[in-house]
Structure 1
Amino acid sequence: MAKSKIIYVCQECGYSTPKWLGRCPECGTYSSLVEEPVKAPPKAVQSARPGMGGEHRPAALKDISIQESHRKHTGILELDRVLGGGIVEGSLVLVGGDPGIGKSTLLLQMCLHLADAGVKVLYVTGEESLHQIKLRANRLGGHQGLMEVYAQTEVDRIEESILETSPDIVVIDSIQTLYADDIGSAPGSVSQVRESTARLMRLAKSKRHAIFIVGHVTKEGAIAGPRVLEHMVDTVLYFEGERTISYRILRAVKNRYGSTNEIGVFEMGSQGLVEVPNPSEYMLNGRPMGEAGSVVSCCMEGTRPLLVEVQALLSRSNFQMPRRTVSGMDMGRANLLLAVLEKKLRMNTGEQDVYLNVAGGIRVLEPALDLGIVAAVLSSFRNQAVDEKTVFMGEVGLTGEVRGVTHCPQRVREAAKLGFQRCILPKANLAACRDIPGVACHGVESVRELQGLL
């Protein structure tokens, strides 16, 4: 009979130790080590575990024959874009997001589309009953075709079911509900999440099943469980947005088969998630006209140019320490740009409360937003509205210079498509964008030159 032992596992980072410690030596978190019984499997079981590719010997790279991986289209264009063109067979995809954001709804919609297209799908749920899944499928209005549903949380039985039915696509909702019998800890613990994901990964790579797993997130917004979970999977998708706002953003933060930081935009409706084909138009919907402190800038999200509204509000402070409030952008970057304006344009913001916001609920970290932030701050400081048909893009350095940005022609074409007639951009990008029809481009080298163009 196999012996069992007790170890202590950090619930934040997965560090294990044979004795209890008040502070995890790996991540520094206090009181995070929890006692977990571990039963060592027999040696025969350990040796019988399948490899990722089913091979037991190393192979020469030149002798390996491959075929182009055939991608399966999900029937949802925005999801295909984020995945890099479709689902790759044998891939392991992790989908995370806040509770109620729409993770299960999106994956169920994907399963229904694939089943209608003749793809064999297995949906494994550990959080809902089969009747609840049926009710949600009826609400989404999809046909059930070749889709099968299985309510199970034991990893061994899920593996057996996948091997028996041999589906093309498997959805696990969610990874925190699964457990393995040979691990004594509770479902959702670091050991259970790590072991369950490892088994699913071996199954996906050896049998070429594409597996989607849903992951819960912590209050900080990170995937719950060990950090190694994100390293094990091929693709990590995050659902962003507020439950009180109908729009959702699906972002790829890791993708071995496509572009990272790609986004897909959806709107939550009564019949599930609906694609937003033109996110720039959605981001600018409701933009105030003729108001000071509101300008339009262009950022790149993966391969897609996206127009966003940058808002700034400067008002005289009633406090000894003026407030700096930022939403949708990096606080450090905003303070840097305010310091540049104070130094180069002698604009005194030391007695002003400064509020900066990217409208639409999106977070932008790209430096190309700098010129838009500077223009919005100048507009609010002077209480002077900016031409509503003007768009700004460019990176601002510490000496006040305006540096070139990547994919500038794509950004300008996106602005022209939405009816913008003037574009303020770095002088280094002017030659590549001068001949784009419908928009007049003006190049600037420093923030001083920007003053005369507002």
Structure 2
Amino acid sequence: MAKAKSRFVCNECGAVYPKWQGQCHECGQWNTLVEEVVAQEKKGAPRSVQDGGYAGVAAGVVQSLDAVDLVRESITPSGISEFDRVLGGGLVHGSVVLIGGDPGIGKSTLLLQTVHHLSYQVRCLYVSGEESPSQIGLRAERLGLERKQIVLYAETQVERIIATALAERPDVLVVDSIQTLYSEALSAAPGSVSQLRESTAQLVRFAKMSGTTVFLIGHVTKEGAIAGPRVLEHMVDTVLYFESEAGSRFRMLRAIKNRFGSVNELGMFAMLESGLKAVNNPSAIFLSRPEGEHAGSAIMPVWEGSRALLVEVQALVDEKGGGYARRVTQGLDGGRLAMLLAVLHRHGGIAIHDMDVYLNVVGGLKITETAADLAVVAAVFSSFKGRALPLDWVIGGEIGLSGELRPVINGQARIKAAEQHGFKHIVLPKANVSRETVSGLTVHGVSHIGQVLALLEERM
């Protein structure tokens, strides 16, 4: 009897090796190689060199792009406003959505609530591979959901799940979670690279063939990435990540990939006893400031997905305790802070190279856009001077290495957000200031960091 061939696949990146080794050379991770049995190839007629072995295969029909029917994707609202925002307006028929996040952050809760809302208008099927039906029933009762509206199926074999879905013909299929599924076609254990790839591939084919919207729940690793190779994220249409600060009741759902909507769209939720509740005004969370003025605090308008949010950034400048000066950041890039401090010294005359600087974005939000530069400099300047900035000021803009202020995208939307939240002054690059007047809001256009510091010095 011939011995079955095997190979070793990395659980992190999917790299393949002929034999086991301690470290994966592709991603650098240790002890991530697992053994898999290679399926034997079927023997057939030898391929000819001329036709590449495709003789006898019928050719397909090609067409010009202008002959294709332009059919809009049908979208079904989920009933949860912030979830619809992240998805791009709602559930797209035939799409596959992968949702990742830390254990207990609210992935199953959100999808159980979504299935409950949708069950009144479309057919839904909730497949559980981790929790028993009684556990899901207790959760539904705790969330105040009508259990008779939720159709449940407990199974981990992907072929049975698809066969049941073909019989039930649901419009929405939820799989909790993809790491628990396995296919009979493979001998590897559930959760391995090959099982993840094969199970996801079968569910994607089912979604495209039947038009069913499929939600896949995925676990995350210690680094925050969805467990398994990145190939899962390439196979699906949308990838959503749950984010939250430790001990916080607020949850942020961010779109990392979306073929039907904006990337980096952000949805805000509050975890209550009755489940996840959409937060329609996220700026109120990030602007929950204590009473009175405090040095080192500035409000900045940041652009997340398709809307402007007002976020508070805090800075603390202190004498160093010894050794090298520390640069500690939470929610912002540390390298960007070092560059801004150098610009502040060279073009603003503020020397803090021998002092510790701590920076924090309130609410646990991670800011990646450069429009936060001016607010960071203003917060550092305020902490250095020991005087608070006015509470009714919003500051934003990108700073160049020569100290100039560069325009930011969607400047008018940022101005409108500041007006809606009752702020009286906003500082932006001069290129973002239009001739349109905004009632109750004074727009200060600046072109150099020196002008900003002089303006703040007068107001503090």
> Shorter-chain-normalised TM-score: which range?
over 0.9
**Which residue is 1:313 aligned to?**
316
Measured in 1, the distance between the counterparts of 2:442 and 2:179 equals: 54
Counterpart of 1:383 (choices 380, 386, 393) is 386
- Specify which of 359, 370, 387 is matched with residue 356 of structure 1: 359
Q: Structure 2: how far apart are the matches of 1:58 and 1:159?
A: 30
1:196 aligned to 2:196?
no
CA distance in structure 1 between the aligned counterparts of 2:331 and 2:125, rounded to whole angstroms: 38
- Confirm whether residue 252 of structure 1 aligns to residue 262 of structure 2: no
Per the alignment, residue 25 of structure 1 pairs with 25
Partner of 2:69: 65
Number of residue pairs the alignment of both structures matches: 442
Q: Which whole-Å CA distance do the structure 2 matches of 1:66 and 1:443 have between them?
A: 45
Match of 2:111 in 1: 107
Rounded to whole Å, the distance in 1 between the matches of 2:43 and 2:274 is: 51
The DSSP-based 3-state class of the residue aligned with 1:242 is: coil
Deviation at 1:43, TM superposition (A): 8.5
1:68 to 1:56, Cα distance in 2 relative to 1, 3 A? farther
- CA RMSD of superposed structures (Å): 1.9
Q: Aligned-pair distance for 1:431?
A: 2.0
SS at match of 2:151: strand
Aligned to 1:13: 13
Q: What TM-score do you get using the length of structure 2 for normalisation?
A: 0.92
Aligned to 2:452: 450
Shift in Å, 1:63? 4.4
Other-structure match for 1:439: 441
Instruction: Report the alpha carbon displacement of residue 147 of structure 1 after superposing the two structures with TM.
Output: 3.2
1:94 corresponds to which of 88, 95, 98: 98
Range moving further from structure 2, 135-144 or 33-42: 33-42
Q: Is the alpha carbon distance of 1:139 and 1:43 closer, same or farther for their aligned partners in structure 2, counting shifts above 3 Å?
A: farther
Residues 403/136 of structure 1: CA separation in 2 closer, same or farther (3 Å cut): same
Q: Note closer, same or farther for the CA distance 1:2–1:160 as it changes in structure 2 (3 Å cut).
A: farther
1:411 Cα deviation from its structure 2 partner: 0.6
Counterpart code for 1:108: L
Corresponding residue for 1:220? Answer: 223
CA 1:120–1:3 in structure 2 vs 1: closer, same or farther (change >3 Å)?
A: farther
What is the CA distance between 1:180 and its match in structure 2? 1.0
Q: Given the superposition, is the C-alpha separation of residues 165 and 4 from structure 1 closer, same or farther in structure 2, using an over 3 Å criterion?
A: farther
CA deviation map 1:98-150 (0-9, x unaligned): 1111011000000000012x210000011100111111112222234553111
> Any idea what the Cα deviations from partners look like across 1:148-183, whole Å, max 9, x if unmatched?
111111111111111111100000010011111221
* Deviation for aligned residue 1:2: 10
Query: 1:453 aligns to what SS in structure 2?
Result: helix
TM-fit CA distance, 1:66? 4.5
Q: Which residue of 1 aligns with 2:368?
A: 365
C-alpha change, 1:230 and 1:135, in structure 2 (3 Å) is same
Match of residue 139 from structure 1:
142
1:316-369 deviations in Å (ceiling 9; x for gaps): 111121111100111111111011111112222122110001101111111111
Partner of 2:89: 85
* Cα contact 2:327–2:358 (8 A) shared by 1: yes
Deviation track 1:46-94 (CA, whole Å, cap 9, x = no partner) reads xxxxxxxxx9934424444343221011000000011110000000000
Tell me if the contact between 1:288 and 1:294 (Cα under 8 Å) persists in the aligned partners.
no
Q: Distance in 2 between matches of 1:187 and 1:323?
A: 45
Aligned to 2:307: 304
Letter in 1 for 2:438: I
Q: Quickly say closer, same or farther: Cα 1:237–1:349, change in 2 above 3 A.
A: same
Q: Are the structure 2 counterparts of residues 238 and 438 from structure 1 closer, same or farther at C-alpha, using a change threshold of 3 Å?
A: same
1:30 Cα deviation after fit: 3.5
- Structure 1 counterpart of 2:180, from 174, 177, 189: 177
C-alpha distance in 1, partners of 2:437/2:455?
Answer: 20
Quick one: distance in 1 between partners of 2:141 and 2:91?
25
> CA 1:412–1:62 in 2, change beyond 3 Å: closer, same or farther?
closer
| Contact 1:101/1:243, CA 8 A, preserved across alignment | no
Distance 1:215 1:323 in 2: 37
Return closer, same or farther for 1:2/1:41 CA change in 2, 3 Å cut-off.
farther
Cα separation, 1, equivalents of 2:159 and 2:41: 14
Distance 1:208 1:145 in 2: 25
Residue pair 1:170, 1:209 contacting (<8 A) in 2 also: yes
Instruction: Return closer, same or farther for 1:56/1:26 CA change in 2, 3 Å cut-off.
Output: farther
**TM-score for both structures, normalised by structure 1:** 0.93
Q: How do 1:393-408 and structure 2 match up within 5 A?
A: 393-408=396-411
Q: Which runs of 5+ in 1 are unaligned?
A: 45-54
Residue type at the aligned position of 1:435? T
Inter-partner Cα distance in structure 1 for 2:92 and 2:431: 39
Cα distance in 2 for residues equivalent to 1:296 and 1:421: 12
Q: What CA distance in whole angstroms lies between the structure 2 residues aligned with 1:341 and 1:449?
A: 12
| Stretch deviating more after TM superposition (18-27 or 378-387) | 18-27
Percent identity, please: 50
Q: Is the 8 A contact 1:119 1:146 kept in 2?
A: no
More moved, 56-65 vs 294-303 = 56-65
Q: Unpaired runs of 5+ in structure 2?
A: 45-57
**What code does the residue aligned with 1:83 have?**
L
Q: What is the match of residue 419 of structure 1?
A: 422
Q: Is the 8 A contact 1:120 1:147 kept in 2?
A: no
Give the drift of 1:3.
Answer: 7.9
